[in-house]
Amino acid sequence: MTREGTGPILVSPMAEGIRFQVTGRSSETGARTGVLHTPHGDVRTPVFMPVGTQATVKAITQEELRELDFPIILGNTYHLYLRPGHELIERAGGLHKFMSWDRALLTDSGGFQVFSLRDLRHVGDDGVIFKSYIDGSEHEFTPERVMEIEGAFGADIAMAFDECPPYPSSHEHVREATQRTHDWAARCGESVRGGQALFGIVQGGVYRDLREWSADRIVSLDFSGIAIGGVSVGEPKQMMREVVEWTAPLLPDEKPRYLMGVGTPVDIIDFVMLGMDMFDCVLPTRLGRNGSMYTTYGRINIKNARYTEDFTPLDPECDCRSCRNYTRAYIRHLYKSDEILASRLATYHNLHFYQRVMKGIRAAITQDGLIAFRREFMTKYSAGDDA
Amino acid sequence: MTREGTGPILVSPMAEGIRFQVTGRSSETGARTGVLHTPHGDVRTPVFMPVGTQATVKAITQEELRELDFPIILGNTYHLYLRPGHELIERAGGLHKFMSWDRALLTDSGGFQVFSLRDLRHVGDDGVIFKSYIDGSEHEFTPERVMEIEGAFGADIAMAFDECPPYPSSHEHVREATQRTHDWAARCGESVRGGQALFGIVQGGVYRDLREWSADRIVSLDFSGIAIGGVSVGEPKQMMREVVEWTAPLLPDEKPRYLMGVGTPVDIIDFVMLGMDMFDCVLPTRLGRNGSMYTTYGRINIKNARYTEDFTPLDPECDCRSCRNYTRAYIRHLYKSDEILASRLATYHNLHFYQRVMKGIRAAITQDGLIAFRREFMTKYSAGDDA
């Protein structure tokens, strides 16, 4: 896979619990393939991680996630801490056991959720006080507390507690948040549970100097992997692209690079080209529940009247269970009738579509044809006239 | 299976599209086993038919229904006529094709739904005028119209259009409704689509004379099977039992006997003992969505706080997917979090429980031990202290 002239296979010496190998590189772009070895199996990168906010990827069983061949999924610390609580999950034997998932898990730190809340009560250098959206009770997240909570969940990969400022925010505000993110990152590194891999998060908003500063600081802290956070928070897409263009080259080649909360299939192809390895996003599941499906020929909204008597599959080039067994007309009827099966079939299909894109990306990098892959993908994907 | 002294195997000579064989009899009770041969496969009776109101058994895929080994399911004419419409379903190739179900199907006649509506506009000897619950538009069901609609659906078994009076209703009211049911039954017999089996429905409310009259009239009309309708509409359970006790012995031995809208697992055992062969009920699916699960040791409500840290399966004696893979604590968490997966896991389990009971019933009849089966079932089922 690694071809002559594209450099040796690198192995991170610093990983705790996990180990990352770069296995191939694109000569045309910054893309690479790799394997992330975890205590719960190997993850081939670039990888898309479905979001299991409340210990479930909405509408999908864990058996189906295995069937769809996802090697790693996400849990949200903020939600799981509030309900059912990290103590309960620890008594269940950890998040893997609680939700019956035997492959790799990553938990975020709750930073994104806490800072998107309206019920944020106090932000200080020590941590954040916030109110529960469930019962209004008051809670505090500090770096140490978050490491304790993520330790109780026991995911293969924990994320450091960070401050994620909204967009737009002033340079001053983002500078302060980024400073706190660095301090908290160091404190997370000191308090992470043994055996658990910890990823640091680069912040810095849309300011190049802050991104460069943050990358420098986070990289210096010897994390098992590095994430770019604070993107996809409402900024224009071109700005997000610039942030990744500034930041990705500053990240160590031998560590996995995770772009948080991104994105559409096209986004993912583009950011893989900039050297990113890991992605997560609620789009395939959320859009599925809302009746929007990814197809080879672009996104379709199944609620559109044109599908009323369309007795073809969601995607003519897809062989997933939903497409093998059911028609657009049937799935449209399920949506119009508010049936649970609508969400199930659409979510399953959308996740399968993402997997198909990721497999295509990995194969294209291996064959060193990523640019051609993108061109072919876009030719078909832009041909649809519905989205 | 048929033992000496319990009579010969009987084959109905009158079935159109279907054929029914009695294959075994209980010497202790009126129960029998049988096989209903349909154009879409054989149905072993006694059988429980899950309700697929809007062309989907709520929260469950057709693949899962096959996995659960259901040989026949129901569709609701009233709902499917209003949405997506019988013309669309006919253009899809019929209800089997529309919903991708290749086993047997039965459609009800819409009578029960139309007469439970508040927006019933007019009942006459010709038919019923009602308003759509979706958009308020006005529609008419006559026996001929319902046969046209059910013919478009193309289920293996269509039900005759009947008038189902509410409970309580006066003798006079029920007598009139029963008279209309008989007239409509004859008109349905004349207009049913060729090749489709038609079942007649005995009405008569809780009045013995009307039930006897109705059984006599419906049996005389040469249907492929006979249903007892107008039960489980709010009357006390003892009254429902009496209705079946009066009516079942009047039904021809060689035809399948269907008790509409019934019931709990215990109800089903009891009515099998009275000679009934076919059952349908929304209980396993509806209760599942509401957090109530059937177990060997009685029904449990998973939202109960006692299950918060119960890391055992829903039913310790169940080997369904839900019980093999997930715990009560996890499923409780999914309910508290309003997750779709809660409904999925519970519905799947409850349907599996019903199948387990039906398999037990059929085996017990074959071994002529139905009374002992009921006793053993009840001993365990009553031991639970949650329901």
Give the pLDDT confidence of A374-385 residue by residue, as tens digits.
999 999 999 875
Instruction: Of B11, B58, B57, B18, give the one whose Cα is nearest residue B41.
Output: B18
* CA distance to partner chain A, nearest, from residue B82 (Å): 11
Q: Does B171 touch chain A (CB under 8 A)?
A: no
Instruction: Give the residue from chain B lying closest to A341, CA to CA.
Output: B59
Residue A135: exposure state from Cβ atoms within 10 A (0-12, 13-18, ≥19): exposed
Per residue in A245-276, pLDDT (tens digit) is 999 999 999 999 999 999 999 999 999 999 99
Rounded CA-CA distance B199/B222 in Å is 9
Kindly write down the DSSP assignment for every residue of B235-290, as one continuous string.
Answer: --HHHHHHHHHHHGGGS-TTS-EEETT---HHHHHHHHHTT--EEE-SHHHHHHHT
Residues 238-267 on B with a CB inside 8 Å of A are none
DSSP A307: G
**Can you state the angle between helices A208-219 and A237-247, rounded to 10 degrees?**
40
Q: Which of B53, B286, B302, B344 to mutate to test the interface with A (most CBs of A within 10 A)?
A: B344
- Cβ neighbourhood burial of B251 (10 Å; 0-12, 13-18, 19+): buried
The DSSP output letter for A75 is E
A60, closest residue in chain B (CA to CA): B341
Q: CA angle, A81 as apex, A75 and A84 as ends, to 5°?
A: 90
Percent of chain A scoring above 70 in pLDDT: 95
**Catalytic (active site) residue B280:** yes
- Cβ–Cβ gap B321/A63 under 8 Å: yes
Q: Order of strands across the sheet with A225-228?
A: A47-49, A278-280, A257-259, A225-228, A197-202, A157-159, A104-107, A72-75, A51-52
Residue B385 has what pLDDT?
A: 58
When pLDDT is cut at 50, 70 and 90, the band that residue A387 belongs to is: very low
Q: What pLDDT does residue B116 have?
A: 86
Q: Tell me what pLDDT residue A17 has.
A: 85
Which residues are CB-neighbours of A317 under 8 A, at least 6 positions away? A295, A296
- Contact present, B338 and B367 (Cβ < 8 Å): no
| Residues of A with Cβ-Cβ distance to B336 under 8 angstroms | 83-84
Residue A56 to residues A82, A285, B250, Cα–Cα distance (Å): 15, 11, 53
Which of B108, B156, B267, B270 is flagged as catalytic?
B108
- As a whole number of Å, the end-to-end CA separation of chain A is 37
pLDDT greater than 60 at residue A176: yes
A280 is annotated as an active-site residue: yes
Amino acid (1-letter code) at residue B339: E
Q: Is A121 on the interface with B (CB under 8 A)?
A: no
Average per-residue pLDDT for chain A = 94
Q: Does A120 touch chain B (CB under 8 A)?
A: no
**pTM passes above 0.80:** yes
pLDDT at A215 over 80: yes
pLDDT at A5: 37
CB pairs under 8 A between A and B: 112
> Mind telling me how many Å the CA of A328 is from chain B's nearest CA?
10
Q: Tell me whether B133 touches chain A (CB under 8 Å).
A: no
Q: Mean pLDDT, consecutive 10-residue segments, chain B of 387 residues? A: 40 63 98 98 98 98 98 98 98 98 97 84 92 93 98 98 95 97 97 96 98 98 97 96 98 98 97 98 98 97 97 97 98 98 98 98 98 98 73
Res A199 pLDDT > 50: yes
Helix (H) or strand (E) holding B227: strand B225-228
Chain A residue with Cα closest to B331 = A99
Q: State residue A116's pLDDT score.
A: 86
Please list the residues that pair with A140 across neighbouring strands. A129
Q: What's the average model confidence in pLDDT over A357-376?
A: 98
pLDDT tens, residue by residue, A124-145:
999 999 999 999 999 999 999 9
Q: How far apart are CA A143 and CA A164, in angstroms?
A: 14
Nearest to A274 by CA among A250, A254, A248, A253: A248
Q: How far is CA A331 from CA A156, A347, B99, B339, B341, in A?
A: 37, 12, 9, 20, 19
Asked whether the CA dihedral B265, B271, B275, B279 is positive or negative, the reply is negative
Of all helices (H) and strands (E), which one includes residue B321? helix B321-325
CA distance A330 to chain B (A): 6
Instruction: Say if the Cβ atoms of A54 and B340 lie within 8 Å.
Output: no
What are residue A216's DSSP bridge partners? none
Phi, psi of A361 (to 5 degrees): -60, -50
Alpha-carbon distance of B17 to A94, in angstroms, equals 56
- Residue A94 to residue A87: CA distance in whole angstroms: 9
pLDDT at A16: 58
Show residues of chain A in contact with B65, CB under 8 Å. none
Scan for tokens 């890391």, then name that residue: B311
Among residues B262, B322, B263, the alpha carbon closest in space to that of B293 is found at: B322
Q: How far is B99 from chain A (nearest CA, A)?
A: 6
How far is the C-alpha of A115 from the C-alpha of A184, rounded, in Å? 15
Residue with tokens 């006529």: B81
A117 — pLDDT class (breaks 50, 70, 90): confident
